[in-house]
Amino acid sequence: MARRRLAPCAAPGCPTLTRDTYCNVHKPEPWAGRRGFEGYKGDWLRIRAQVLHEEPFCRMCGRPSTTVDHIVPRARGGTDERSNLQALCNGCRRRKDAADAAEGRRLAREARQG
């Protein structure tokens, strides 16, 4: 395999040449895990498997379900109780997550305005 050629570090203003994206000074810490996945350990894997078994098809579109979603997000007080969980396909999950995030931004904006 060919070695990458030397290029400046991607950190703004750093002239150090490196074969990686960043030089040793600016190299980020290794990723400890999936962002946002903390708190979804232990019982969550069992609960998730149960929901996917009970709901093999997406609640929104009917395609095969691949992920479990909190109807009321945990960030807004939702729980891991079965009544707050639904099985979705990846596409519907992305759309719902985007809508939830937009709603959160709207609520934060209203709170800042008084």
35 pLDDT more than 60:
no
In a domain, 112, yes or no: yes
In a domain, 3, yes or no: no
Do the bridges between strand 67-70 and strand 7-8 make them parallel or antiparallel, or are there none, so unpaired?
unpaired
In a domain, 47, yes or no: no
For 14, other C-beta atoms within 10 Å of its C-beta total 14
pTM for the full predicted model: 0.62
In a domain, 62, yes or no: yes
In a domain, 8, yes or no: no
**Mean pLDDT computed over 26-37:** 65
In a domain, 92, yes or no: yes
For 87, the 3-state DSSP assignment is strand
Taking Cα atoms as reference points, which of 33, 26, 43 lies closest to residue 82?
A: 43
Question: Could you report the per-residue pLDDT of 70-86, keeping only the tens digit for each?
Answer: 999 887 888 989 999 99
Do the bridges between strand 17-18 and strand 85-88 make them parallel or antiparallel, or are there none, so unpaired?
unpaired
Do the bridges between strand 85-88 and strand 67-70 make them parallel or antiparallel, or are there none, so unpaired?
antiparallel
- Domain span at residue 74 reads 55-114
- Are 20 and 27 a contacting pair, CB within 8 Å? yes
Question: Could you report the per-residue pLDDT of 9-21, keeping only the tens digit for each?
Answer: 999 999 999 999 8
In a domain, 81, yes or no: yes
In a domain, 32, yes or no: no
Q: How many domains does the chain have?
A: 1
